[in-house]
Amino acid sequence: MTTLPPSLDTIEELARTAISDLPPQFAVAANTLVLRVMEFAPDELLAEIGIEEPFELTGLYTGIPLTEKSSFDQPTEPDAIWLFRRPILDEWIARGDVDLSDLVTHVTVHELAHHFGWTDADIARIDRWWE
């Protein structure tokens, strides 16, 4: 029996489930973000944020956090959450003790935290990763 690793579509589905499971006041706003799921972060993106090893980056938020937005902002691209399949799977395998859906939820919520300007206490109410 051959077992294939989870696909890009599977990671996206898990992330969309994590977003839809948020409290309604966050889920509505979170659904306005673009969700990009890729094998790895593009080289130019890694260079821009100063990361040399692509396996180090499981997710990223790009955009202007809600706590910093102004009506004068002229965005050139929509706010987005990026998830990187291979680094997520690498972490999942290395941990060996966490469900893939929990890991994808953790990465997704962490990136949403950047968008919403959430504090650690806010994140703890939604994502009890360390318990």
| CATH number reported for the structural domain that contains residue 58 in this entry | 3.30.2010.20
The more confident residue out of 14 and 118 is 14
Please report which confidence band the pLDDT of residue 1 belongs to, taking 50, 70 and 90 as the band edges: low
pLDDT of residue 81: 96
The more confident residue out of 128 and 93 is 93
Please report which confidence band the pLDDT of residue 57 belongs to, taking 50, 70 and 90 as the band edges: very high
Does the residue 2 lie in any domain?
no
Does the residue 60 lie in any domain?
yes
The more confident residue out of 69 and 106 is 106
Does the residue 1 lie in any domain?
no
Q: Sort residue 122 into left (φ over 0), alpha (ψ -120 to 50) or beta.
A: alpha
Does the residue 112 lie in any domain?
yes
CB 112 within 8 A of CB 82: no
Residues in a beta bridge with 59: 83
When divided into structural domains, the chain yields a total of 1
Which of these ranges, 35-39, 47-51, 106-110, 118-122, has the smallest mean pLDDT?
Answer: 118-122
pLDDT of residue 118: 78
The more confident residue out of 43 and 69 is 43
Q: Look up the domain containing 84 and give its range.
A: 8-67+77-126
Best CA proximity match to 34, nearest among 17, 49, 12, 66: 12
Does the residue 31 lie in any domain?
yes
> Percentage of residues in the chain with pLDDT exceeding 70?
92
Does the residue 104 lie in any domain?
yes
Does the residue 110 lie in any domain?
yes
* This prediction's pTM: 0.87
Does the residue 3 lie in any domain?
no
